[in-house]
Each structure stands twice: as C-alpha cells, then as structure tokens.
Chains A and B, each alone.
Chain A
Amino acid sequence: EPEVTQTPSHQVTQMGQEVILRCVPISNHLYFYWYRQILGQKVEFLVSFYNNEISEKSEIFDDQFSVERPDGSNFTLKIRSTKLEDSAMYFCASSNRGGTEAFFGQGTRLTVV
C-alpha cells in the first residue's frame, strides 16, 4: 500500500541552525502539506502546496519557514534558523485532490537544544 515517508524520524539541532525535513509523498498525489504537533498540543496546519506553489499557509508559517518540491518526488520543509519553540513533531501529508483525505507520514520529531 502506498505511503508517505518522512526522514529522519528524529532530528536534534542546535538553536539557530538550519534544518531540512524531508518527505516523499504518495506518487500520484498532487497536494502536499506540512503540519506540526508540539508536545501535548493540537496538530496544527503549517502549509499546503499545489502546482509548485504554496496554496495556503498559517500564521505559524513565517519567513523562517520554506517549502520546496525540488525533484518531483521529494517535498521538503526548511526552517532557516531554529528556535527552541520549533521543537515539535512535524507531519507531512499528501492527497490526490482537494477535499479528500490526506495521508500522513510517520512524522519527524525535531528537538531544538
């Protein structure tokens, strides 16, 4: 069964460093998303991406964040200069069209120290 895969499963980084979280969405999907879940809190939407551009983004997705689909298979989330409060589980998801269910990856746990 096709699945969304995320790497790495756990990343530890120092405050101020750049991190790139990687995702391989399901191959025939067209919509891609990043969500995050701070420990003990709700899953929060960050950004959606369609047709090689951002289609929606939340207030959380500020200038420190960027997304890219560099090669037609990977979908990445970059945090330019990490802060302690960026520590969270980051989930990638994809769907084959808007309004249908999103399939989620296993998540990358980012720890900023």
Chain B
Amino acid sequence: AQSVTQLGSHVSVSEGALVLLRCNYSSSVPPYLFWYVQYPNQGLQLLLKYTSAATLVKGINGFEAEFKKSETSFHLTKPSAHMSDAAEYFCAVSANNAGNMLTFGGGTRLMVKP
C-alpha cells in the first residue's frame, strides 16, 4: 500500500524567491515518484519523475526534486519563482513492481506574488 502526504495545501512566495513544496510518501516496495502540475482549467502535466536512477531529478521549467529514502521524502524545489509557476502541484507515488496505479497527494496550490 502506498500513500502521499503534501504538507501545506497553499504556499505563497514572492517572485524570485525559492520554491519548496513538500512531499512525503510511504510505500511497502521501492517507489516510483512523480510531480505533476495542473494549471487552471487544464489537465495534469508531468514535471519530473524518480524511477530509481539518480536521486536528484531535474524536470521542466527549472524544477527539481531529491529522493531521500531515509526521510521518505521527495520535495520539489525551484531556485527562483516566476509568476507563471502559479498552479497546483501534485506529488504521486506508484509501486515499481507494477507502476500502474498512481496514488496522489492532496496537492499544493502555489501562489506567486509580484
């Protein structure tokens, strides 16, 4: 069984500031981990994924995430927020022995202030 917890349903940062969105997971088997972004009135777009290769994963739009097994975390970061980053971000986990079913966290709405 897997689960995902995203701390903070809303995060507000100033433009140019560091973005940190937290994700902790639990999984009974080695996980695959994903971050998806959802812009208003749009579907889910993959930002990045961890599939047991490098623990620091770089994604699109300058985002990256680090898999820390000891902390069961996969936090998403971006050094400098842009207004266009305002969206909802979802962390998700799947079991690497099947990979079919994604379990999502509750989502974090990122707001970027000018």
User: What residues on A are CB-neighbors of B106 within 8 Å?
Assistant: 41-42
Distance of A63 Cα from B100 Cα, bound (Å): 21
Interface: B45 (CB within 8 A): yes
Chain A residues with a Cβ closer than 8 Å to the other chain, count: 28
Please tell me if the beta carbons of B100 and A43 are within 8 angstroms of each other in the complex. Answer: no
Interface centre among B42, B98, B101 (most CB of A within 10 A): B101
User: Which of A4, A48, A105 meets B100, CB within 8 Å?
Assistant: A48
CA distance A99 to B32 in the complex (A): 7
Q: Is the CB of B104 within 8 A of A43?
A: yes
Closest to B32 in A: A99
Query: Once the chains bind, are B99 and A100 in contact (CB under 8 Å)?
Result: yes
Bits for A76-110, please: 1 = Cβ < 8 Å to B, else 0: 00000000000000010101011111111111000
B42 touches A106 (CB 8 A): yes
Task: Report the Cα distance A41→B100, complex, angstroms.
Answer: 21
Within 8 A of A (CB), among B18-56: 32, 34, 36, 42-46, 49, 51
Given A42-B105, A42-B106, A43-B104, check contact A98 B99 (CB 8 Å): yes
Q: Which of A48, A91, A101, A106 contacts B101 (CB 8 A)?
A: A48
Number of B residues with CB within 8 Å of any CB on chain A? 24
* B100–A107 CB distance below 8 A: no
Are the CB atoms of B101 and A43 closer together than 8 Å?
A: no
Enumerate chain A residues within 8 angstroms of B90, measured Cβ to Cβ: 43
**Beta-carbon nearest neighbor of B51 in chain A:** A99
Nearest CB in chain A to that of B97: its residue: A99
CB-CB under 8 A from A98, the residues of chain B are 98-100
Q: In chain A, what residue has the closest Cβ to B92?
A: A43
**A101 and B100 in contact (CB under 8 A), knowing A42-B105, A42-B107?**
no
Mark A residues whose CB is within 8 Å of B: 4, 31, 33, 35, 41-45, 48, 50, 55-56, 58, 91, 93, 95, 97-107
In order of increasing CB-CB distance, the 6 nearest A-B pairs are: A99-B99, A98-B99, A104-B44, A43-B104, A106-B43, A48-B100
